[in-house]
Structure 1
């Protein structure tokens, strides 16, 4: 744990030379996590009150002792957040989370109103996402309190992206923000989201999802080192990394149904390097390896299985495994495998695209091939079609006129026609 600070700085200095061009899209084009863009299709987040066990009670005393001291070092807070049971309860997190991130929760800044923020280009999307997140608020709270929280969440998000205009809002960001809003309140939540957005979540808030997509490949690089059989099985099935996208973007806040699991993971992520969610994702996949193998080598079945995280998983074991993986295979040791995988996928994608084009060419009819050979000026545009209709009508009218009058004129002697002309003169 003593080397976390150096690890974080080294991760910030990393450069990614290869990216997946499939996801070279703007934030507006990225898929949402919800199956329905109008409502939140997730199950309701369960805010169950759990009686603390003996281990949690002992951990609470340690945290209260650290809080009573004015000189508790940062490494102590990190150790408390990482170790079993984390920071135990929200009443302790209220004070410990700002200390863990070394942010000052007090502020004399005036919060802007929703009306003042309504002209921001991201305003409508943020409103839509906040309205879809009703099930992530505690159940049974008064309507007025819920509406107030929704307004606070919207303001919180927009304040960050207005203060840092190079950052782009992404769908799922609100899942992170709502957790901090519920635990530490509006002022401290802004300070925390401000720091996370410029550090841990910085790559996720770029204009494109290229770096995010690149990072997700660390899951397979780590699987290759830790569980080769599982890696080969998932790779052969073509599962890909999309199942882990909401995990990484929201620190699992979008995918978990138990509130206690969400805040426990947030304890852990606040105290560990920025890429630790990927190690937890890998540890979670390995933890469920038997279920994955039982699905058979089928992409859709495995993706569906992994997309739904069951309740009451043993996250303490998963977090211990993730830390062990990080210590043995830090990101810099995985980078070569990640680049190799990205290069391989880029070549396969290019090959498949060429095969698809060739197949389409073979399936084209003779008329289509002939049509492609016609110069552009001969193509039947709307203007040329109108011209053709007009020309055809002219020919038809001329022909009819000839039938009616031209034949009669053929039977009139030329001399008679000439005399008639002379007499007319």
Structure 2
């Protein structure tokens, strides 16, 4: 008897794909945990609970979304949360007409370099813009940077600053961006906006100290390599080296929630994460070590690195590092931004510290010149006596000296008798 043909049956040797069932309970628990964290962040922003924000930023995912970051970042920068957007009406001003008072200010000396860097911006993200949109984004970025520099003309622009500004531009609401950048510039990255990069290089001296304390073997292996490999990362808050917007905003969560010195601990964690790779490179090949260290590892385990950096700072606080006393100015943002002060300082405090650090840099330059004068005339001075050494140094320093409040650091660095004498004379003049 003929069999009736029905729908085509599956071959006996084939089975349907076994799809993994969705665990709704687990998914629901994760969703609930995310919602609880969102509420906790918003509540901490509302009450300005900085300790809670620090802890939440260090937990996986950081502040989770850009909408939440728009509130959290401003609070951490010492600003009020953004106001709700005004209702749209015929009287509402277009965005580019909100505040143009900066345009009448004198041009900043670095505006040509700003434009060169802005022309190279938005290389990696966002990557879905048309040419017209990209041009508009660059205009907004240039406007944000230039108005900040014109309003604070004593600041010096550095290459890579535009990378930091780009992150703020793409994350914060337009009305909040100028104030946020001003606070960031004066209270977080002020050391990099001084007349020269010596304070930035001084910061790098902390990195070997962290490695010496936490991993003596790795530190010894890298001891022939100068820590300049960390300059790009620490100078630009890693915005120049990280190529995805999601990763850099996540990283800004932790950098803005902690003291500025944390950036050095983060780089130490990055170095330690490559321990085996680095130990395989002969220590007598510093160029190769530098080449490896100057590039961030890929893929970048941000959550793991953040956890390790937090632990490093807890175990080896900066006050216990050798270079903290000798290399870091008392007016450095690393010292003026310790603890809750980093969240509560105002722009005037930042400018005052900036001016004092500039004077300190000038003082050190005079000291350097004075040492050169004494060294050049050392034979004649040796014949006259030690008293003349003190007198000569005193006259030179008095001629060029401008009082600053950071005198306790002068003469404290390890050095010879001349360094010690200069320090004593400097302290005497500053009384």
TM score, norm. by length of structure 1? 0.62
Q: Which residue of 1 aligns with 2:167?
A: 179
Q: RMSD across aligned C-alpha pairs, in angstroms?
A: 2.9
Deviations 1:295-318 (CA, angstroms, capped at 9, x unpaired): 222112111112221333222121
Cα distance in structure 1, aligned partners of 2:298 and 2:32? 23
TM-superposed deviation, 1:258: 2.9
62, 65, 78: which one aligns with 1:89:
65
Distance change >3 Å, CA 140–CA 336, structure 1 → 2: closer
Q: Which residue of 1 aligns with 2:226?
A: 240
TM-superposed deviation, 1:95: 2.7
TM alignment of 1:14-413, pairs within 5 A = 58-67=33-42, 70-71=46-47, 73-104=49-80, 105=82, 110-112=98-100, 119-235=107-223, 238-297=224-283, 298-336=285-323, 339=326
Cα distance in structure 2, aligned partners of 1:62 and 1:274? 25
Q: Is the 8 A contact 2:125 2:243 kept in 1?
A: no
TM-superposed deviation, 1:96: 2.4
Could you say what secondary structure the match of 1:125 adopts? helix
Cα distance in structure 1, aligned partners of 2:28 and 2:251? 19
Cα distance in structure 1, aligned partners of 2:177 and 2:303? 26
Q: Which residue of 2 aligns with 1:6?
A: none
Cα distance in structure 1, aligned partners of 2:315 and 2:294? 27
Distance change >3 Å, CA 142–CA 337, structure 1 → 2: closer
Distance change >3 Å, CA 336–CA 117, structure 1 → 2: closer
Q: Is the 8 A contact 2:158 2:193 kept in 1?
A: yes
Deviations 1:126-152 (CA, angstroms, capped at 9, x unpaired): 010111123143011122222121111
Cα distance in structure 2, aligned partners of 1:206 and 1:57? 47
Structure with the bigger RCO (C-alpha within 8 Å, sep 6+) is 1
Distance change >3 Å, CA 159–CA 115, structure 1 → 2: closer
Cα distance in structure 1, aligned partners of 2:309 and 2:315? 10
TM-superposed deviation, 1:53: 11
Q: Which runs of 5+ in 2 are unaligned?
A: 1-26, 86-92, 329-431
Cα distance in structure 1, aligned partners of 2:35 and 2:163? 27
TM score, norm. by length of structure 2? 0.61
Cα distance in structure 2, aligned partners of 1:173 and 1:257? 15
Q: Which runs of 5+ in 1 are unaligned?
A: 1-51, 342-425
Q: Which residue of 2 aligns with 1:35?
A: none
Deviations 1:280-335 (CA, angstroms, capped at 9, x unpaired): 00111011111111222211211111222133322212111111111121111113
Cα distance in structure 1, aligned partners of 2:29 and 2:314? 30
Report which stretch shifted further, 89-98 or 188-197. 89-98
Could you say what secondary structure the match of 2:239 adopts? coil
Cα distance in structure 2, aligned partners of 1:204 and 1:149? 25
Distance change >3 Å, CA 57–CA 152, structure 1 → 2: farther
Cα distance in structure 1, aligned partners of 2:239 and 2:29? 27
Distance change >3 Å, CA 55–CA 175, structure 1 → 2: farther
Cα distance in structure 2, aligned partners of 1:57 and 1:293? 44
Deviations 1:160-193 (CA, angstroms, capped at 9, x unpaired): 2222222111111111110011011332222211
TM-superposed deviation, 1:223: 0.6
